[in-house]
């Protein structure tokens, strides 16, 4: 039975993301410690931030880059996780963002460089040791990340793949019951 639920936001997002807020509203009916930490843009520091929040009763939800982080933590610490339109190989996708960036949701300017890509590469798991700990929620209309890459990577995991949609995962609220069931939130 999960007592701490951590939602991990994506790249250039924040704790105020639509999915984080909506799921938090849903979590209000459960006796759980729901947390959505504001993550730094530096991958290894973000992982350290998240590791400090983990305990024996933790489960994870991660969206986009947050799904990548949730996958890493799930497999490293044997924690159940739901990944929503996750980034599988973000170090290949974020090359277009190298240089100065601005996160409007955190009102912060930062520089993304090749050291960040190397850090992401170091967190990549070529294969999943315990795929039964992961549940993929994927929409094929994701305009940001290649959906087929996620479907293939998480092929041994529980999957819910919807035709259409987009990167925001349209109709996210309709998945709440299956998330609660998979993560054993009571």
Q: What CATH number has the domain bearing residue 58? A: 3.40.50.1820
d(CA 84, CA 93): 17
Number of domains in the chain: 1
Closest CA to 139 of 81, 63, 79: 63
Q: What is the pLDDT of residues 85-97, one digit of tens each?
A: 999 999 998 888 8
Cα angle 30-105-20, degrees, rounded to a multiple of 5: 15
Which two three-digit tokens encode residue 64? 């986009």
Q: What is the pLDDT of residues 141-183, one digit of tens each?
A: 999 899 999 999 999 999 999 999 998 999 999 999 999 999 9
Which two three-digit tokens encode residue 33? 């410690």
Domain residues for 55?
Answer: 4-183
Could you tell me if 182 and 158 are in contact, meaning their C-beta atoms sit under 8 angstroms apart?
A: yes
Could you tell me if 84 and 67 are in contact, meaning their C-beta atoms sit under 8 angstroms apart?
A: yes
Model pTM score: 0.94
């Amino acid at each position: 039975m999960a007592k701490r639920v951590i939602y991990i936001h994506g790249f250039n997002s924040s704790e105020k993301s639509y999915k984080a807020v909506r799921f938090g509203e849903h979590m209000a009916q459960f006796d759980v410690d729901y947390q959505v930490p504001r993550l730094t843009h530096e991958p290894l520091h973000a992982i350290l931030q998240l590791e400090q929040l983990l305990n024996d009763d933790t489960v994870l939800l991660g969206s986009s880059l947050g799904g990548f982080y949730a996958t890493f933590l799930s497999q490293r610490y044997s924690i159940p996780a739901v990944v929503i339109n996750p980034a599988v190989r973000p170090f290949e996708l974020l090359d277009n963002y190298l240089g100065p960036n601005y996160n409007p949701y955190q009102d912060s300017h930062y520089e993304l460089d090749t050291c960040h890509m190397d850090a992401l590469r170091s967190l990549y798991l070529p294969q999943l040791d315990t795929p039964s700990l992961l549940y993929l929620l994927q929409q094929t209309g994701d305009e940001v990340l290649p959906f087929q890459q996620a479907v293939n990577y998480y092929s041994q995991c529980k999957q819910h793949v919807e035709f259409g949609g987009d990167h925001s995962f349209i109709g996210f609220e309709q998945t709440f019951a299956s998330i609660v069931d998979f993560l054993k939130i009571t």
